[in-house]
Every structure is written in structure tokens, then in C-alpha cells.
Structure 1
């Protein structure tokens, strides 16, 4: 059990995309807490990965990385490795538009410390905030086979990891989670479906996760209007990710997945009046292999 002098240290990664440092509510709201946490004896290390070089410039108080539209899975793995090597005990990832201004990270760390010092603490490798978008709870959620569904409410505390889903932004991982899960994030995945794949594999390593007693505002891209090109990109990413995640599952599950993807492709092709969605079933199938 940790003493007051041995408070938890936390590294947070914010991925910027087509946004300046000043325009990222995630970065600015965390920078505002950094000095306060320091006064409480908590070491908050901020890492920024600028995934669209030329848009944002390095700012003081953070460790800065850049690459042109690098895969999120690669970013998460690389920075997590460096952060844990530096000695932190916990690692958190964040989108650039998640707002932390209404929460106290010190309270989250206190909750995490209590869970980790309890007998069931070893069964937990990830801590999850409750994310809300436009007044609706969007994470954590549940999975039925390959389909995710929202839940109207999730009580804080320990939850079973089986069929659990969560959005990447705001997840806090333990060192044990990073060490056990190989890979931490599957680097065959690019952008979408990285979180779904993580939780599908997570349940094979840890029987439980912990939902923190905190609610965070998150700008969910699914609630934004898609152009046909953007909708196609998202659909291609979904096909690519789900086929990787279920590649080693039963023949029945893979068959049901293929039927579902055909149904989804036809619906989108009709909605957007474009056969490209049906074509994506074949192009993304070759990409997985």
C-alpha cells in the first residue's frame, strides 16, 4: 500500500490532429492542472504527438513528438513504452478534444490507488472514465459478438471485462497491463477500431476493469455529419479493424461478421448513393491478409 509520500505518477499522451496546441481543450485543461498536481506531490507528465506537422508548434511543459498521420496503434505503443521506461506507474491516452477542466485528476488517482491496494486490484489493468457526448453516455459500453452498443448508465466500480468496450480517450493503463498485453495495441490497426480490438484482447488478460466515479465531456466524431468520403473512410477502417480482431475467432463468428458487413455495406451504398462501400468489402479483405 502506498503512503502519502509515494503518490501515483501519471503520464498522459494527447494526440493532436489538424489542431494547434492552443486549440486543444484536452492539452490546455491538463496543463492547467499540472502545477496544482505538482503542489499535491503528484507528477503529471504530458506527452504530445502532433500527427499533422506544420499545424502545431511545441509548447513548454510537454514532451513533443511529430509524424505525418502515423497509425494511432504505433503512437500509443511507442509513447507508452517511453513513459513506463521513465518510471511512471500509470499511462493515459487522450484525444485532443476531450475536456478535463471539470474534473480533478488527483481524485481519479486517489480512486485508482484505493482499487490497486485492495485484494482485487491485481485483476484490473485499465481504469475508465464515463465519457459523455451531447448529454449521452458513450463509454463504457458493451459488445455482442462484433457489434457494440451503448448502455444508459454504468455505475462506478469494478466491472467484468468480458464483452466490455470503451473509447480510447481517457483510458488509464497500469504498468502490468502494458507488460502483459503483447502487443499493447495491435499495430496492424490504423485509427478506428483500435479501442474495440484492445478490449476484445484485454478480457483474455484481466478479468475486471474499473469505472471511475468521474464524468468527462468528449466530442464524439460519430455525432458529426459525415461527407461521403469521410463515411467511406470510416467504413473501410471498420472493415479492416473487425476482420483483424476476429481473424482467429470461430468460423461461425467470422461468417456472421461477413454477413453483417455485407448488410452494412449495402445500407451505406444506398444511403450515400455510392457503390464504393460494397467495393470496400473486397479491398479491405485483401488488406487484412
Structure 2
């Protein structure tokens, strides 16, 4: 088997290098410099200044990396599609948000899993938010459910769901089979879009025996209403778009579910305004 190589994509927004848990984690993974290159896409209004660039270079010393700034805050789906075009077929794309915590063992365990199952095109670590396993999970249509126990080894892709951060996807699949991310989905539902398409084309994925700590901003209670409602509206509309593509029945069933979910969300956040989000 030829040498395993990674392209690590990190998407940042309004964060200095030292504020990103992901960059801090990679700064402790210098031994991976021989088989991993890094692409940083910064969607912030302002690019890093000279001092911030110097800090980033010190943190990633030894890695081949590229920093690209785009003030337009391009959609995740667009960034992912652009990155796929730069990916080599013999590389594996690792998607990371700004706030994932891991060490070198994540990359080493990923290499071991790929070596053990070179025929598989998707590898997923165990993602935890606090003490809850949030990825991989299970989803039927638009209704998701956390798993009761950690999956291991090779698993069925049917009804499987995962969050973007931590996904490891073969360039072979992305360049030759994957139809691309649907750019009607801006930020939310991009992971669902990928997993739905993957399950239609592949039957299995492999679990990487490694835990990553990650925060789920969507469920945060400390953010202002404006941020919460923007995320909630995008999540709601993304699922309605996806279900409309499935069938009229799935679309109206999703409509009903989202109305019920609005009530639940309003109660959780003690804010009746969520009842009227459309």
C-alpha cells in the first residue's frame, strides 16, 4: 500500500490562531508533518495581520500549510467543493472546525484504520460534546438519534449520520464518485447532505478508535437571540429543502416536525420568538 497522506482543511471565522483549539491541537502534532498538509480557510472580515501570521507560522512550524482569507464568508458547501478540486486522489481529506481537541494519536489511529481497511472511503472518529457521543449517530429522514454505545470497526452506512468535523474521506471517492456538496445548503445540513449521498453509493464506513472533544454551537445557551435564530432558521430551511427533494410526503412531515421542534426549542431557551421563525 502506498504512503497515506492527508489534506487537513480548517475553516476559521473571527478567531486568532491561539483562539482555535484545532490549530493548538495541530501544533502538538509536528510528527505528522511528513504525511499531512494543511489548508486554512479564513472567512473573517479581516485577514490575519503580520503578528497573527507569525503566531500561526510558529504553531504550524514544519507543516506544509496555506492560509487563504476571503471576507465574503463563503458557504461551507462552497469551500468544501473548492477543496475537493485541489485534492489528490491518493490523499484523504480531513475536515475540521476551529474548536476540535485532539493529539497526534488521532492521525496515527486514522492511518491504522485506513491501512486495515483500504477499500473503505469514509472514516469517522468518535466525537463527544461534553459526555455525550454525538457522532457517529443515526438519522431516518430528518429525525436524528444519538447512539447508546460507541460503534467499532466497519459499520453500515445506511441511516448513518456524522458531523463534518473529524470526517476523513478518501480523495479516490471525492474525485471520482461524489457528486459534490449541494450549495443550497450553506452551513447546516452539509454533513447530512454528504452522508445521504455517501450511503447511496457506499455500504460501509469505518470508525476510528479515537475520541475528539467538540462543541456544538447550535445548542449553546449563552449566545444572543440573533445568532440562535439565524442558526435555527437555516437548520429548519435546509431540512425542508432536503425533504422536498425526497417527496411531498417527507416535506410536509418535516414541516410538522419542525413546528413541534420550534415549541421544544422555545421552551429550552425560554424564548417564545422561536415559535414564529420561518
* TM-score, normalised with respect to structure 2: 0.87
Match of 1:64 in 2: 67
Size of the aligned set, in residue pairs, is 262
Instruction: Tell me if structure 2 keeps the 8 A contact 1:247–1:254.
Output: yes
SS at match of 2:123: strand
CA distances 1:111-160 after superposition (whole Å, capped 9, x unpaired): 112101xxxx2xx3211000111121111000122111111222221111
* TM-score, normalised with respect to structure 1: 0.84
- Aligned runs of 1:270-285 on 2, under 5 Å? 271-274=270-273, 277-280=275-278
Q: In structure 2, list runs of 5 or more residues that go unmatched.
A: 58-62
> CA offset at residue 210 of structure 1?
0.9
> CA offset at residue 258 of structure 1?
1.3
Q: Does 1:100 align with 2:95?
A: no
Q: Does 1:47 align with 2:43?
A: no
CA distances 1:151-190 after superposition (whole Å, capped 9, x unpaired): 122222111111111010010001132121112x211111
Instruction: Tell me if structure 1 keeps the 8 A contact 2:137–2:147.
Output: yes
Instruction: Tell me if structure 1 keeps the 8 A contact 2:94–2:168.
Output: yes
Q: In structure 1, list runs of 5 or more residues that go unmatched.
A: 281-289
Match of 1:89 in 2: 91
| Cα-Cα RMSD | 2.0
User: Residues 245, 125 of structure 1: CA spacing in aligned structure 2 closer, same or farther, 3 A cutoff?
Assistant: farther
Q: Does 1:37 align with 2:36?
A: no
- Aligned runs of 1:1-289 on 2, under 5 Å? 2=1, 6-34=2-30, 36-38=31-33, 42-54=34-46, 56=48, 57-58=52-53, 59-60=56-57, 61=63, 62-68=65-71, 69-84=73-88, 88-101=90-103, 103-116=105-118, 121=119, 124-179=120-175, 180-183=177-180, 185-225=181-221, 226-268=223-265, 271-274=270-273, 277-280=275-278
Instruction: Tell me if structure 1 keeps the 8 A contact 2:229–2:277.
Output: no
CA distances 1:245-274 after superposition (whole Å, capped 9, x unpaired): 222212222221111122223444564122
SS at match of 2:124: strand
